[in-house]
A and B are shown apart, each in its own frame.
Chain A
Amino acid sequence: MVIFMSDKVIVTLRKEQWEAEPGKTARQIIEERGLNPENFLTMINGQLVDDSTRLKPGDHLKLVAVISGGGDAS
């Protein structure tokens, strides 16, 4: 994946990628996308952060989906 320098925030979730406005919290960005913050952890520029953290221009926000399921948790 190629990520260009930008004055926006780059958000990735699995293979999806989109842009968001800086100045918002990670939680707000998740909610704006219609997603539930309870289903994700948030990493900014490779570091795990609490989702109240605000994004700066050029930041990369990675959403880590945490729900697993199917038949087993072994």
Chain B
Amino acid sequence: MPRKCRKCSRPAVINMRQHKLALCAEHYPEWIIAQTERFIKKYHMFTRSDRVLVAVSGGKDSLALWDVLLQLEYQVDALYLGLGIDGAYAYSAESRAMCEAFAAAHPGTTLHVLDIQDIYGESIPAMAARTRRGRGKPCSVCGLVKRHEMNRIAHDLGYNVLATGHNLDDEAAVLFQNTLNWQVGYLARQAPVLPEGNGFARKVKPFCRFYERETAAYAIVRGIEYIYDECPYSEGATTIYYKELLNKLEAEKPGAKLHFYLSFLKARQELFANWKEEKVDLHPCENCGQPTTAPGLCSFCRMLPAEVRPKVNLANPISLQFPVQPENSAEKA
């Protein structure tokens, strides 16, 4: 006999061993939506008066997040950044099509599409090929561009919260990596919420307590089409390696991943209660106004030829208060 839903005894679509909870196709999405609301409140992420921008990639996590926030009736729109990445399977074109299809089916929300090549004249792989930062793999350039542009767009369009679809497996893999290397600065900053500052939006991760298979199951049950293929550059990424390692542990000890992450969040409060960001001198980038440690231009503007650099929005400049979220805060990239 297949396992039954705890609430109604119909066949379960998923069994979450770490919660000893199996749910059916009707009760599972209800549970995900209610849990997301609980995490949003618990970590003081945002309220219904905030304007939330979800960064969508066409993948399961970000589209599921957009869907859940719409179900919860938050003021939410989405941002898709066209990176111009084409492998064997037109990754960027397909992922954009997934986001557009979702937006078309949900008339109450807006998808902002921003194509990096259209604005800056170069795709991410081209930028990477031209610069030292991109040597070997475009992920570092890609991460820099995404961070800069997400901050810029949220600011210029008046969103005060930026939400990303990071799930628990993402967070646990980064945590594992940062712990293996004892990256104290990164550990101090790894949190479900990064407060706003300097005109930057608050950054939130409402799915940070869901396993990756749970966000995928939500997308499938809700009939959300997402891009199943990965970005071609993600192959061999260390994140995937750490996720697989953690899942080996999880298979033998259900709940091990969850425990690793949640006990870190608890320990973090004690460990870093008096922790101060290393005193770094930050100033506004001469060109775009985003805070930077480098004198003159920020690393994003420095990477671009002068004629295509984004100009600072003088009517509504990013105000500068310190300390801020430094450019290199821990991300998966």
Q: Which of B176-218 contact A (CB under 8 A)?
A: 212-213, 216-217
The answer to whether A5 has its CB under 8 Å from any CB of chain B is no
Q: How many residues of A are in contact with the other chain, CB < 8 A?
A: 25
A14: nearest chain-B partner, CB-CB: B228
The interface residues of chain A lying within 8 Å CB-to-CB of B234 are 68-71
B233 lies within 8 A of A48 (CB): no
The answer to whether B2 has its CB under 8 Å from any CB of chain A is yes
A73 touches which one: B3, B12, B166, B221 (CB < 8 A)? B166
Q: A67-B169, A67-B212 are in contact. Are A72 and B333 (CB under 8 A)?
A: yes
The interface residues of chain A lying within 8 Å CB-to-CB of B331 are 71-72
B233 lies within 8 A of A64 (CB): no
The interface residues of chain B lying within 8 Å CB-to-CB of A52 are 2-3, 15
B139 touches which one: A36, A41, A50, A71 (CB < 8 A)? A71
The answer to whether B51 has its CB under 8 Å from any CB of chain A is no
Q: A36-B248, A48-B14 are in contact. Are A64 and B220 (CB under 8 A)?
A: yes
B235: nearest chain-A partner, CB-CB: A70
The interface residues of chain A lying within 8 Å CB-to-CB of B81 are 74
Report B306-333 CB contacts with A as 1/0, cut-off 8 Å. Answer: 0000000000000000000000000111
CA distance A52 to B15 in the complex (A): 9
The answer to whether A66 has its CB under 8 Å from any CB of chain B is yes
CA distance A51 to B3 in the complex (A): 9
B59 lies within 8 A of A50 (CB): no
Q: Which of B275-327 contact A (CB under 8 A)?
A: none
B333 touches which one: A49, A64, A71 (CB < 8 A)? A71
Q: How far is the CB of B4 from chain A (nearest CB, A)?
A: 9
The answer to whether A53 has its CB under 8 Å from any CB of chain B is yes
A69 lies within 8 A of B57 (CB): no
The answer to whether A38 has its CB under 8 Å from any CB of chain B is yes
The answer to whether A39 has its CB under 8 Å from any CB of chain B is yes
B165 lies within 8 A of A67 (CB): no
The answer to whether A37 has its CB under 8 Å from any CB of chain B is yes
The interface residues of chain A lying within 8 Å CB-to-CB of B2 are 49-50, 52-54
The interface residues of chain A lying within 8 Å CB-to-CB of B235 are 70
The answer to whether B271 has its CB under 8 Å from any CB of chain A is no
Q: A53-B2, A71-B237 are in contact. Are A64 and B165 (CB under 8 A)?
A: no
Q: Which of A10-66 contact B (CB under 8 A)?
A: 36-41, 43, 47-54, 64, 66
Q: A68-B60, A72-B143 are in contact. Are A50 and B11 (CB under 8 A)?
A: yes
B13: nearest chain-A partner, CB-CB: A48
Q: How far is the CB of B57 from chain A (nearest CB, A)?
A: 5
The interface residues of chain A lying within 8 Å CB-to-CB of B170 are 73
CA distance A68 to B240 in the complex (A): 7
CA distance A39 to B250 in the complex (A): 10
Q: How far is the CB of A53 from chain B (nearest CB, A)?
A: 4
Report B13-40 CB contacts with A as 1/0, cut-off 8 Å. Answer: 1110000001001000000000000000
A48 lies within 8 A of B143 (CB): no
- Give the top 3 A-B pairs by smallest Cβ distance, nearest first: A70-B234, A69-B240, A74-B55
Give 15 pairs: A residue, B residue, CB < 8 Å, sorted on A: A38-B251, A50-B13, A64-B228, A67-B243, A69-B237, A70-B139, A71-B142, A71-B333, A72-B143, A72-B146, A73-B57, A73-B59, A73-B167, A74-B55, A74-B56
A→B interface (CB under 8 Å): 36-41, 43, 47-54, 64, 66-74
Apart from A41-B14, A68-B61: 13 A-B pairs, beta carbons within 8 A: A38-B251, A39-B247, A41-B220, A43-B220, A52-B3, A54-B2, A66-B60, A68-B212, A68-B234, A70-B237, A70-B332, A71-B333, A72-B332
